[in-house]
Chains A and B, each alone.
Chain A
Amino acid sequence: MANKNILRYIGILLILIGMNSALVSDEISANQSWSSGTAYLLPVKRYEIGIFQPLRYGLSETREISLHPIFAFVSPNLNLKLAHDKIGNLQFASDHGIIYPTILMNLISREGTGGIISPEFEIPHMISIYNGVILSKPLGNYHLITVKVGFNFAIKFGELDKRTTIDLPLVFPRLNVFYNSYGFRGGCDLKGKIFKKWYYLADIDIFYFPGADEDFAFEHKGLIQWNKSKKFQLCFGYKLSYCNYPFGSQWHLLPAFDIQFAKQLKTKK
């Protein structure tokens, strides 16, 4: 009985972490540190992690990997960001990701508290693969604009019942690819310095699933970041979400926060 309860709480916790990582997955910076969401890669052997954001690691000057460490056990996931040659003064990178959510979705498909999905359904094995491009351009010394676009598709090894959707902001548009089999995602970030160690980030993300009844979602985030050092930063702000759900369209305004840490491992000289 106790084990069952623990599993339920883990399930709820993972959903919350998932939602918050979607809220605060980017940091604010115009340099390579705290460069999530931009075309810049982390410096080699630097890693960054937040309570609600994935672990990112600079593998080389052209490769960066990231994953959600806690999620990794129940929803294995991996992202690879590759740096490419600059186009003029545009920083150019590509982003490639894979996620297998079946274990997590089956974990929260249960009776009683923590039953996010009805236990009458079995979630099949399935993966989604994302490929996208990212372009960043500095605006003066203190600001950076980033544009990104990508294509997402899903492979399912069984039937996924449409009644298993999780009709919540941030979650629904990220899982919708499994119900529609493919979709597009694009967005734009603007980040920069406000004052001393204070930075800002404003972004929009658009999800589009051609042919789906619930084909569109829009998200906007506004964050203030206190960049104490290259090892620690604090983010707080809001996330605005508009999404076509199975019940209709709805706006949500949610608080967003994160505490992030980083470390530079020693490199051989």
Chain B
Amino acid sequence: MVNCKGIALISFAILGLMIYSCDPLVNKFDDVEDAEMYTAKNIETPPNNIDTLIFMTWNIRFGVARLPWFGDCCGNKVIVEKSDVHQNLENIANFINEVRPDIIFMQEVDIESKRTAYIDEVQWLLDNTYFNYGCYASMWDAQFVPSDGLGRINTGNAILSRWKIEEAERIQLPLRGDQDALTEYFYLRRNLLKTKIAVPGINDFYALDIHMSAFSTDDTKQRQLDRVIEELETLDNTNCQFVIGGDFNLIPPGSDSTDFCDEDKCAGESFHGPNDDPMHKEGSYFTPEIDWLQVMYYNYSPAVPHPDYLSDQEHYFTHTPEWDGFWNRKLDYLFTNMSWITGTDSTYQDITVQNSLSDHVAVSAKLEVGNGK
């Protein structure tokens, strides 16, 4: 038989194991941490001499196209068939291969989620396009989400590039301030993905990918934008050149429509009535936020100039939450501290509706290389 000392040792060993065993259900992330790097299966030699660069931003909605998904468009689907995800990714890859951006900012890319058959979409897209390098920063990494059958999820931002990504950081953005602690624990943790890319002809070039909160009802998006601007100012002040692209979940200043509660409401929902609680639908009421993007337009160069947008707003809309509806708001942007070539911006409304690739359309623009600031 074992003596008392033995028992104590065994007990402490087991206790230690128990403490060690408490793996968090949800990854909470550091304020700043390395992003995950990817390399394509086959490397295509990128060009060394370039005059222009094409940038694209696209929220690909985790490769489920316009599926009536439960979480964002009054749908009832949760888990998608593997073959359907593959088909959607193939359509996305075909579109990218046709437009051929040099660097793409992607949002809502799944790498290990039950809802998309656990396909690593970053690797899949790298292997099925001409891009050579990629990096990924998760905004939602949970071993198990015990709600609506979601299960395991890992989704976030990704940047794909023809040239080597030298550095990649995941910068944590402020969490939503309007949630209880339990919901917040299992909820998304938005981030800014900051990369340094070895683009020929531009020294110290940074590409940043952003996806801000969609459903916050307080000043969360303002605080997230403040953190983004802080990062951009640091780059600007150190003579670095950058392009930032992404889904800001904010509409441009001066937009005609700022309240989409009626357009977005699901069956049985009611807003704006005296007894309605909440008064507005989460993610559909932009009136208090209408000027928040002003600072981006003021300090940096937008791919779609603000006067162009104001003169023909519908032409630049990039999103609709209706799974069978047409685009009715602009949420996706490209900004730089360099110079876009006038008239080279594209908002691919027709292509993406026709092929039903996502609930967001891609936006691209061409950048002059070598002129800098």
Residues of A within 8 A of B (CB): 12, 109-121, 142, 163-164, 166-168, 193-195, 198, 200, 222, 224, 236-238, 246-248, 252-255
Contacts and interface: CB of A to CB of B under 8 A. Distances in A.
B146 A115 contact: yes
Nearest to A250: B143
B81 interface: yes
A198 B148 CA distance: 44
Contact of A224 (B10, B21, B144): B10
A224 B152 CA distance: 32
B1 A194 contact: yes
Interface string B2-23: 1110110011001001101111
B114 to A, nearest CB: 6
A142 B152 CA distance: 44
Interface stretch (B26-34, B71-79, B188-196): B71-79
A115 B149 contact: yes
A200 B2 CA distance: 11
A254 B143 CA distance: 14
A116 B119 CA distance: 20
B1 A193 contact: yes
Given A193-B1, A246-B118, A253-B23, A236 B152 contact: no
B115 to A, nearest CB: 9
B354 interface: no
A114 to B, nearest CB: 6
Given A118-B79, A253-B20, A248 B118 contact: yes
Given A194-B6, A238-B14, A114 B147 contact: yes
Contacts of B117: 246
A200 B13 CA distance: 13
A168 B150 CA distance: 12
Contacts of B370: none
A118 B151 CA distance: 9
Contacts of A193: 1
B112 A237 contact: no
Contacts of A113: 146-147
Interface string B75-115: 01111010000000000000000000000000000001010
A109 B149 contact: yes
A252 B10 CA distance: 20
Contact of A253 (B2, B17, B147): B17
Contact of B146 (A12, A194, A253): A12
A195 B17 contact: no
A236 B16 CA distance: 13
A194 B10 CA distance: 10
B21 A253 contact: yes
Contact of B81 (A111, A163, A168, A194): A163
Contacts of B3: 195
Chain B CB within 10 Å, residue with most, of A110, A112, A238: A238
13 contacts: A113-B146, A113-B147, A116-B146, A119-B148, A121-B79, A164-B149, A194-B7, A195-B4, A224-B10, A238-B18, A247-B152, A252-B23, A253-B17
B112 A247 contact: yes
> When A and B form their complex, which 6 residue pairs have the shortest distance between CB atoms, in order from nearest?
A118-B149, A253-B21, A118-B78, A247-B118, A163-B79, A115-B148
B1 A247 contact: no
Nearest to B21: A253
A167 B11 contact: no
B317 to A, nearest CB: 30
A166 B151 CA distance: 7
Contact of A238 (B17, B77, B81, B112): B17
Interface string B270-287: 000000000000000000
Contacts of A12: 146
A173 to B, nearest CB: 16
A246 B76 CA distance: 23
B14 A222 contact: yes
Nearest to A193: B1
Contacts of A121: 79, 149
